[in-house]
Every structure is written in structure tokens, then in C-alpha cells.
Structure 1
């Protein structure tokens, strides 16, 4: 059996290879699956491809979120059978063996399969809401309206906030409007003035920083209101030199009250539900399924490309140099003429 997979061979070098799949007996809690769609995570995977992530040594097969069909299940697997369609965290590899103790969830009947891999991006975004103090009637700003930032803006709106999205890209701002984000501002020197006008001079009570660019986070401080909070959703990357004393004094003194910084990395919560912890990755994923089914969470506008894995090099190059056009890129692993 031939197995296709996307490989990062060296920095900025992507290949789609085909090799013979070597099968082995499944463990008690393992399942064997075939990909239907897998989603590129632009931020994480581009950092891996650049060779800047110490935990991702090249060469490797990347991946983030997928929807697959179960071919075989181990003897100890319950509630999942051959033929079931599942959401899981996985690599861009056509055939895979998964542990069901990881995030492996049956997809509700009737849910659009192209949307399913976006569940992972939504649960990443969910963390920004879980750690925040966002309440009904609040004004919330979001810098960076890529997949995660857009979904964070949508979730903040569902929480009852008036949301202000900020991005350099007119295309991403247009997509945010298609997803019902109330205010969309182009990132320029007038952002503070516009946000202060929207908030009647008070500033936002919560700011979600989704770009991962340190300077953007620091610049955002000036439109966070007194007793406000900065939610660090995007993983900070890159070098930025500044006087940290000025930053700390602004939060401590000049803003007439403290600004709280909160980290919102997805892994701060457990994978499985626990009676001692309210939130988990599984619970958040199930809530995302429901929001998608009820069309409360807009996914279709986020899909920019649905392509074959053989076009992987083109996809990653597009994500690197043409971020306005490339955003939500799905690999379609179906064979010609195959039905789902």
C-alpha cells in the first residue's frame, strides 16, 4: 500500500513523498486511519519549516489537525469502529496509527468535513476566552486576524463582547467582516484614536494579541483601559528590543491602574475532562462541533485553498510570501473519483 506524506526536508524545503506503508499489529488502544482533509497551521508550521523551533528537528512530517476515516480499531477501543469519521490531531500523512487516548473524537453526522480540522484552531482560540474576564457588554480588541485571531474574535463576540479586529491585510479584514466581527481596523498610526472613539475614550477591557509579534503586543498597550488585560494568544517569536521599564511603568502607573498579562497557550488545560477542572481540550472541541453545527461559528470564509498534497511546496510558499491570499489551506487526500 502506497502512503503519501508531506515532509519538511530542511529549512524552507518541502517535498511530498510516496513510500510503501509498513503495517504492524495495532495496540489495544490504537486505531488505523486514512486522512480525508488535513489543515496547515500557518504560524506553527511556518516556524517549523524555517528551522527555528528547537522541538521540531528537520527532516520531519508536520501536521496539526485532521479529519480521517477509521479503517481498523484495536481490541480495547470503545465507541469507535471501522468506517467512523473522526477529528484528531495528526500529521500530513495519508495513513496513520493513532492512540485514542489523544484527542480523537467522532464527527457528528452531517457536519461539513472541510470544517472539521478547523476545530483545532478554534480550541486554540478558545483558551483566550477561558483565561479572560470577558463579559457581556465588554469592548475587546484582537490584533492579528489569521485563523486563530479570527476565531478568537468570533468567540469573544459569542461571549457577548463588542469586538474590534485589527490587521494589516485588507483581505483578512474583509474575511473578519464576513464572520460578523463588528469593527475591523487596518493596522496603522490611527488605530489608537479609532479604538478610543469606539470605546468612548475608555479603551478596551480585554485585548487578545494573536500575531505573536512582540512589538505589536507592546504597541497595543496604549489602547487597553484601566484594569484591563492583555491576553497572549499567539506564541511570541522574533527579536524585539525595548526598555522593559517603560513597558512596566506604563502598566503600573501611567494607565491609572494595572494591566494584567495572561498567557493563553492551549496546553494549559488537560486533554480529557476531569471532575476537578472545568475546561479541557476535549470539552472545548465538542463545544466547537456544536457551534459549527448551529452555524454560530463561521468557518467557510476562512478556507482559502483546498489542494492536493502534491501541491504542498506551493502551499507553504504561498503562506510565507502571500499571506493575504493564503490563509486556511486544506490538503484533500481523496483519490480521484473517491466519494466521502
Structure 2
């Protein structure tokens, strides 16, 4: 066995077989959706030999993107959508990972052995990746803060797409992982009031109580009268639909004033069931989509990641209360089953890869 050192307090043991000069084979525990609604944790061998610009990494923590990953597991997609093109079984879920760099290729620059890096990588114990896709974490950012970088850039894109102005009144439908981050960004953006909408009290309780934030424990269809009352019939300037549920868009368009904006940050897997509502044309409502793989104007993903981490280190954003569960990756079958049964019972669910001792 070879032992690879980790930061400060722990070591991770990995098996390295066939230590002959002709090649090295490493074994990695990987989480796989083998088919619709079926999760397995499999140990697989791979060749760790590096290309010139690649790095070899050992996972430390990974975050389950509950909305996206459960949709991938459910496997219900309209044809000719991003979902149907992307999800092919067997499918490796996940894209929120902090890992330690074990080795680097001969031409890698900016990343060194021992660095902690964020990578948009699936739930794998060991893996290779081109160094250009690894973001070294600053020393004052913890591993459990770093795993949020993908979701933080996705939500930052949504807030940028809205092109908010000081004093606007904004709503957020769906207070899962993305909704929680959007709400924090909105508060930093100088909006006058925020209406956080979700029927699950457990999610509303995770929104930090601040002046100007209104918590509505209801679904979007029931929020119209409450918002109408609280805004003296003016309604909202902007609403974010982060649910990915096809029925919510039409409900969201009812919550904004004439010339209001609806930001679609949740990409439904069944757009054939999605309607835009009866008042979009008559009220000149804008429906603005945004996808996580895009940049926005001069803001690219590394710059948005840097900004998010600066907010974290300054204490202006806080994800610690959003982490509700930690598990060994070997418990993945039970973890996903629990989320399928009751997704609202959890928020930030982490896999601790250091829990695997060999």
C-alpha cells in the first residue's frame, strides 16, 4: 500500500497494484447511477499515468447537488433536451468536489502537489483531470466551503442575468441549495425587499433573518395574494424560479408587475409540460434563462468563483448553516434513497471521502 498525506489531521490509504515498471493501476470507489433509480458504489481500477497538463487527485469532500442529481437519478426527460443528451446510464453524478493534488504532469503550472483544489468532478475517490479545470483554494477557505463553488457561480449567473437595480423588490421560488445562495446574493445586491417562497418550513428556517426578507411558507401558486397584499398591489420587479418544476413558470409570471422579469434558473427536464402563463404578453413580462456553463459579459467562472470566496472570507456570505448531513461515500445507496423519499429533510449533503480508510 501507498500512503498519501492530507492536510493537518488525517491520511487517506489507497491501494496501488501492479507496481511494475510497465504501469500502475489505482483503485477508486465511485458512485454510479447504473440505470434509472438505481445507485451503486463500485470499486474500479484506472491508470493514474498523467499527461503533461494533468493532475492526479484524491477526493476530500463532495457535495450532492440534490436537485440536479435526483433528476438524473429519476431519469424522466423530454427528448432533445440538455438532460436527455447529458444523462446516459451508467452515469456518474456530481460536480462539486474539493480534492488534494497527489501528482502533477510535467507541464502543469499554477497547481502543486498538496494543493486543495475545487473541481467540477463526479463523486470519485481518485481521478485525473486537466489542471486548467482545477481551482486552488485559498488557505483561509475550508474544504467544506470550497465544495460550493459550482453552485455559487451558477447562482451568481442568475443574479447577474436579472441586472438588478437598487431598491427593487425580488422573489425567490424554491429554497433548496440554489435558492439559499440566490437569496444571500440578493441581499448583497441592494434590493429593497426579498420574498423567499417555499412550502417547507425546514428550508425557510435556513434563510438568515434580516430586515427586508419575507418568508412565505407556501407554494408559488398560493403566493400571489400574499405578495399583492404586502406590496400594495405593485407586485415584484423580479422573480427567480429555481424549482425546475414545469408548472411553476406560469405561477411565477403572475407574481411580477408589468415589465417585470422572470429568471429561469431551474431547467425543467420536461419542457413539454411547461407553460408560460396567461399574462406574459399583456403585461410585457420578460422570461430570462441562464445556464451554468455560460459566462456573463466580462464575468467568467474563475472570476465569479474568486468573488464568491471573497464574500465567504469576509463573512458576507455563510454556507455553514446550509450543511445538514455528512456521510461516507460507501453509504451512497441509502443517502440517495433518503433524498428521493424526502428531499426537503436535507440541504447540504456532503460525502466525506476521508472516511474510506482503504
Q: Same fold (TM over 0.5)?
A: yes
RMSD after superposition: 2.1
Partners of 2:209 and 2:333 lie apart in 1 by 29
Which digits, 9 at most, give the CA deviation of each residue in 1:221-252, with x for residues without a partner?
Answer: 222012110000000233665876xx3x5122
CA 72–138 in structure 1, closer or farther in 2 if over 3 Å, else same: same
SS of residue matched to 1:115: helix
TM-score, normalised to structure 1, is: 0.89
Partners of 1:64 and 1:181 lie apart in 2 by 33
Tell me the residue number matched to 2:253. Answer: 221
Q: Is 2:53–2:105's contact at 8 Å kept on the other side of the alignment?
A: yes
Q: Is 1:38–1:92's contact at 8 Å kept on the other side of the alignment?
A: yes
**Match status 1:306 vs 2:326:** yes
Tell me the residue number matched to 2:231. Answer: 199
Tell me the residue number matched to 1:15. Answer: 40
| CA deviation after TM superposition for structure 1 residue 335, in Å | 4.0
**Match status 1:252 vs 2:281:** yes
| CA deviation after TM superposition for structure 1 residue 180, in Å | 8.0
CA 85–179 in structure 1, closer or farther in 2 if over 3 Å, else same: farther
Please list every run of 5 or more consecutive structure 2 residues that lacks an aligned counterpart in the other structure. Answer: 1-14, 16-26, 77-82
CA 179–115 in structure 1, closer or farther in 2 if over 3 Å, else same: farther
Deviates more, 1:114-123 or 1:43-52: 43-52
Q: Is 1:154–1:181's contact at 8 Å kept on the other side of the alignment?
A: no
Partners of 1:181 and 1:50 lie apart in 2 by 37
Deviates more, 1:32-41 or 1:290-299: 290-299
Partners of 1:174 and 1:122 lie apart in 2 by 20
SS of residue matched to 2:258: strand
| CA deviation after TM superposition for structure 1 residue 77, in Å | 1.0
Partners of 1:66 and 1:228 lie apart in 2 by 36
Partners of 1:11 and 1:43 lie apart in 2 by 15
Deviates more, 1:12-21 or 1:142-151: 12-21
Matches within 5 A, 1:1-340: 1=15, 2-24=27-49, 26-52=50-76, 53-54=83-84, 55-102=86-133, 104-161=134-191, 162-177=193-208, 182-188=213-219, 190-238=222-270, 241=273, 247=277, 250-253=279-282, 255=283, 258-269=284-295, 277-335=297-355
SS of residue matched to 1:98: strand
Q: Is 1:153–1:181's contact at 8 Å kept on the other side of the alignment?
A: no
| CA deviation after TM superposition for structure 1 residue 17, in Å | 1.7
Q: Is 1:32–1:70's contact at 8 Å kept on the other side of the alignment?
A: yes
